[in-house]
Chain A
């Protein structure tokens, strides 16, 4: 986990004390990943043990300051340059849940999917609103802080992540519906029954680019 590197990155900007690090970390990530002071001090202790930071006296108010060491700087460079490990994808509760729900007795997998979709879209609604606010702050230049830009990027990451989840849920549902159709109906399914007497509504056979793209 990168609290370690997050703290090193903040310390590269100059010596800081524990609760200050926590505040700055949260203002960049918009308290998406809240840290408690305890975590900050534990991490600082480990960084100090590993020689990546060192105590650097006290400020006027008596807070113990920490400074990054040369080893710490090298470690930080290396972190920026090294891609985040994708070889061992983190365990994902949702995919485990759906994997278990397939064919599970008494479980309505479409209901499981819908309740997750509800939660996911709702989270996206919230992120989107926060994003609109952050974007307005950045664009008006009102904030003048790089923290707003950092926060915006974090929010957008959350939006893309939830979007991927929502799309995957749509896909799972469509896949399950297709697989559950008997073969003869499956062949007939794409053709909607056509009532000859009906005047064609404007949308009847309009091809949809979106669907082609999603296929």
Chain B
């Protein structure tokens, strides 16, 4: 619940974030001053029409692109002010990214894929493998450890991608339509994993067009033309149902 979280430091904080592409006649305002804070344990869904700036928001939050103005703080560090080297380190240690597809390296097994960010971070191969296996175990994916991506279903690959996003002590997962190519049942299993990782303390931002997937989030933020136009909080479900009038 946000009231318990307020005193904590947000894992991700966006401040007056602006991203403008091009200039003059071809100027596109992809983001027009976004403020957003995501706390540990929170899953925030971002919805909005095509072109409203959802992917832009995620790429800026993940340090894959730089804002025109404004700040992005990840666990308190301003990544827009970080050096290239610091940014690369932050991306390896703090931020996990899950795209719609092509998340795993085809030549590596699930365990090797999950171990990769830690190995890149200079941890010994043995330790990296151990933490990868621990992550897979914890997420109920250990049976997939030695499979290659083409030996897994799309949903299994996306769940392994979530495991990789959150291996070690990484606490921020940014997912852009991670269920895009999946059927609804499989998509649900990906969301269930994301939800359970957030319940265990991670912070997640999920971009989705599917209301049914967005409904797993604690908060749903609506973007339109680069601005936040609305936001839902979760209410207390039981009171909602008992307060509902008889229908049908």
Q: Which residues of A contact B (CB under 8 A)?
A: 1-2, 30-35, 90, 114, 117-118, 120-130, 132, 159-160, 162-163, 166-167, 170, 173-174, 177, 192-195, 197-198, 201-203, 206, 208-211, 214
User: Can you report 8 residue pairs joining A to B where beta carbons are below 8 Å apart?
Assistant: A120-B211, A160-B212, A170-B49, A174-B49, A193-B21, A198-B21, A209-B181, A210-B210
Cβ contact within 8 Å between A121 and B65: no
Q: Which residue of A lies closest to B243 (CB)?
A: A34
What's the nearest-Cβ distance from chain B to residue A180, in Å? 14
Q: Which residue of A lies closest to B191 (CB)?
A: A128
With A123-B240, A130-B241, A201-B59: A114-B232 Cβ-Cβ less than 8 Å: no
In the assembled complex, which residues on chain A have CB atoms less than 8 Å from the CB atom of B47?
A: 121
With A33-B248, A201-B65, A209-B100: A162-B241 Cβ-Cβ less than 8 Å: no
With A193-B22, A214-B209: A201-B180 Cβ-Cβ less than 8 Å: no
Cβ contact within 8 Å between A208 and B215: no
Cβ contact within 8 Å between A35 and B246: yes
Q: Which residue of A lies closest to B176 (CB)?
A: A203
CA distance A90 to B237 in the complex (A): 26
Cβ contact within 8 Å between A129 and B237: yes
In the assembled complex, which residues on chain A have CB atoms less than 8 Å from the CB atom of B195?
A: 132
Cβ contact within 8 Å between B248 and A1: yes
What's the nearest-Cβ distance from chain A to residue B33, in Å? 19
Apart from the given pairs A34-B246, A193-B22, A195-B26, 10 other A-B contacts in the complex at a CB distance below 8 Å: A35-B246, A118-B222, A121-B214, A123-B240, A124-B211, A128-B216, A132-B195, A159-B215, A160-B212, A210-B177
Contact among B55, B229, B241 for A203, CB-based, below 8 A = B55
What's the nearest-Cβ distance from chain B to residue A86, in Å? 13
Cβ contact within 8 Å between B234 and A114: no
Cβ contact within 8 Å between B230 and A114: yes
CA distance A35 to B27 in the complex (A): 58
**Does B125 interact with chain A (Cβ within 8 Å)?**
no
In the assembled complex, which residues on chain A have CB atoms less than 8 Å from the CB atom of B235?
A: 122, 125-126
Contact among B21, B211, B233, B242 for A166, CB-based, below 8 A = B211
**Does B7 interact with chain A (Cβ within 8 Å)?**
no
Cβ contact within 8 Å between B241 and A208: no
> Residues of B within 8 Å of A, CB-based: how many?
50
What's the nearest-Cβ distance from chain B to residue A161, in Å? 10
Q: Which residue of A lies closest to B27 (CB)?
A: A193
CA distance A35 to B244 in the complex (A): 11
What's the nearest-Cβ distance from chain A to residue B194, in Å? 12
Cβ contact within 8 Å between A126 and B237: yes
What's the nearest-Cβ distance from chain A to residue B154, in Å? 11
**Does B122 interact with chain A (Cβ within 8 Å)?**
no
Q: Which residue of A lies closest to B247 (CB)?
A: A33
**Does B106 interact with chain A (Cβ within 8 Å)?**
no
In the assembled complex, which residues on chain A have CB atoms less than 8 Å from the CB atom of B238?
A: 130
CA distance A126 to B50 in the complex (A): 26
Q: Which residue of A lies closest to B64 (CB)?
A: A202
Cβ contact within 8 Å between A125 and B242: no
CA distance A167 to B213 in the complex (A): 12
In the assembled complex, which residues on chain A have CB atoms less than 8 Å from the CB atom of B220?
A: 121-122, 125
With A114-B229, A201-B64: A210-B215 Cβ-Cβ less than 8 Å: no
Among residues 172 to 230 in chain B, which have CB atoms less than 8 Å away from a CB atom of chain A? 176-177, 180-181, 192, 195, 209-212, 214-218, 220, 222, 229-230
User: In this complex, which of B195, B209, B233 has the most chain A Cβ atoms within 10 angstroms of its Cβ?
Assistant: B209
Cβ contact within 8 Å between A127 and B100: no
